[in-house]
């Protein structure tokens, strides 16, 4: 394993809502993504989902509350909780999630990614 420079990895792509795999550990994947606009409401029934904002500000809307994350902050969406990330401006995030986690849960949408590109 070599040292990973997150900024250099973010510079390798420009597409939104399409996470890129930068590592794996203990059955987890480390992903980077650029977000802009609204995602879809979805649920991961068996997996928690970790969002850490590296640049910008991200809202995570849930049915009973909305959490706002700024640069350097993270939030863990508990398994089974429906959520929808919203990025008013481009946001860069670091994600940790089990390898089994489906991009949009059981929801199939035009932004659903089946396999994450490794960069």
pTM of the model: 0.86
Ranges of each domain in the chain: 6-118
CA distance 9 to 107: 28
Residue 36, both tokens: 């802009």
CA distance 57 to 35: 10
Would you give per-residue pLDDT tens digits along the chain (119 residues)? 789 999 999 999 999 999 999 999 998 999 999 999 998 888 888 889 999 999 999 999 999 999 999 999 999 999 999 999 999 999 999 998 887 766 555 656 566 566 777 89
CATH of 6-118, one of 3.40.50.2000, 1.20.120.80, 2.60.120.10, 1.10.10.1100: 2.60.120.10
In three-state secondary structure terms, 6 is: helix
Sign of CA dihedral 54, 10, 111, 113: negative
* DSSP assigned state of 78: P
User: Cα dist. 42→13, 83, 104, 105 in Å?
Assistant: 25, 6, 6, 6
- The residues, ordered by sequence, that sit 6+ positions from 39 with a Cβ below 8 Å of its Cβ are 17, 84, 85, 86, 104, 111
């Amino acid at each position: 394993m070599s040292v990973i420079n997150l900024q250099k990895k973010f510079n390798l792509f420009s597409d939104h809502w399409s996470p890129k795999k930068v590592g794996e550990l203990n059955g987890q994947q480390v992903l980077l993504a650029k977000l802009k606009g609204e995602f879809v409401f979805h649920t991961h029934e068996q997996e928690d989902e970790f969002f850490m904002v590296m640049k910008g500000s991200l809202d995570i809307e849930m049915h009973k509350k909305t959490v706002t994350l700024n640069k350097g902050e993270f939030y863990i969406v508990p398994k089974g909780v429906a959520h929808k990330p919203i990025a008013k401006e481009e946001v860069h995030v670091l994600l940790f999630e089990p390898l089994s986690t489906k991009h949009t849960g059981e929801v199939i949408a035009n932004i659903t990614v089946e396999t994450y590109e490794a960069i």
